[in-house]
Amino acid sequence: MPDDPVMLITGASTGIGAATARLTADAGYRLVLASRSEERLRGVADDLGGGGSRVLAQPCDVSVWEDQVALVDNALERFGRIDVAFANAGFGAKRGFLEETPEHWRAMVDTNVLGAAYTIRAVLPHFRERDSGHFLLTSSVAGRRALPGSLYSATKWAVCGMGEALRQEVAATAIKVTLIEPGMVDTPFFDDPPSGALRAEDIARTVIFALSQPAHVDVNEILVRPINQPL
């Protein structure tokens, strides 16, 4: 239906992004799905009925500003509105400041930090024009405490700071901001599947919880760990 809400999700081809796409589609959202992996992205869109009038799947490198502008422009051309923007794209690195390459570090920082900021910048004018909208940003439990030798952790501290800075900027409006902070999740983030981890669907349900609150409630942070994760 033309009045159904529209949700934009970056990093939508796997893991938390794909699980969130499935649950929000079931909840009645029309979807704008973005990922660098076009093949995997098409697979998620096919699972949701092949796109049609309810799903726009578009390859996008979130670290490239022009890609994000094109994503938002195409979303507004297709659906006429965006109600939710989920800045979820990101990836990690081995712990240790002598691990990985400087090129890997740069790509991670550009994706995890600058990519989230670009999503905010690309969508915020539309939200301000409507005086409504909901930003969700994927941070991590690693954004709440330092991890030894983890530059990834530093990027997630940045996302937590970004989310709070954005919340303060839009506090006089009806725009909401929610930080999603998962503990260990069994997603393609890990080379070897961890035991006792959360599933991507568990995090997707926290997104649904944040989105389902009444207009006067803004859930600012959701920190969720598997039951046996000590830190």
In a domain, 231, yes or no: no
In a domain, 193, yes or no: yes
In a domain, 229, yes or no: no
In a domain, 185, yes or no: yes
pLDDT in the model for residue 186: 83
Residue 152 catalytic?
A: yes
pLDDT in the model for residue 122: 98
In a domain, 1, yes or no: no
Cβ(210)–Cβ(178) under 8 Å?
yes
Tokens representing residue 139 in the block: 């941070």
Residue 2: CB atoms within 10 A of its CB come to: 8
pLDDT tens digits, residue range 153-166?
999 999 999 999 99
Residue 114 DSSP label: I
Tell me the one-letter amino acid at 65. Answer: W
In a domain, 95, yes or no: yes
**Domain of 216?**
6-224
Residue 7: pLDDT above 80? yes
Confidence class for position 51, pLDDT limits 50, 70, 90: low
pLDDT tens digits, residue range 171-197?
999 999 999 999 989 876 656 667 789
pLDDT in the model for residue 189: 60
In a domain, 212, yes or no: yes
Phi, psi of 185 (to 5 degrees): -125, 135
Cβ(166)–Cβ(220) under 8 Å?
no
Catalytic residue among 79, 86, 127, 152: 152
Tokens representing residue 184 in the block: 């260990």
Region 18-39 average pLDDT: 95
Residue 133: pLDDT above 90? yes
Average pLDDT, the chain: 94
Residue 49: pLDDT above 90? no
Supply the Cα-derived Rg of the chain in whole angstroms. 17
Residue 222: CB partners within 8 Å, gap ≥ 6?
A: 178, 179, 180, 181, 206, 209, 210
pLDDT in the model for residue 81: 97
pLDDT in the model for residue 192: 65
Q: How far apart are CA 224 and CA 168, in angstroms?
A: 23
In a domain, 61, yes or no: yes
pLDDT in the model for residue 230: 83
CATH number at residue 49: 3.40.50.720
What total number of domains does the chain contain? 1
Residue 192 DSSP label: S
Residue 132: pLDDT above 80? yes
pLDDT in the model for residue 188: 66
Cβ(172)–Cβ(131) under 8 Å?
no
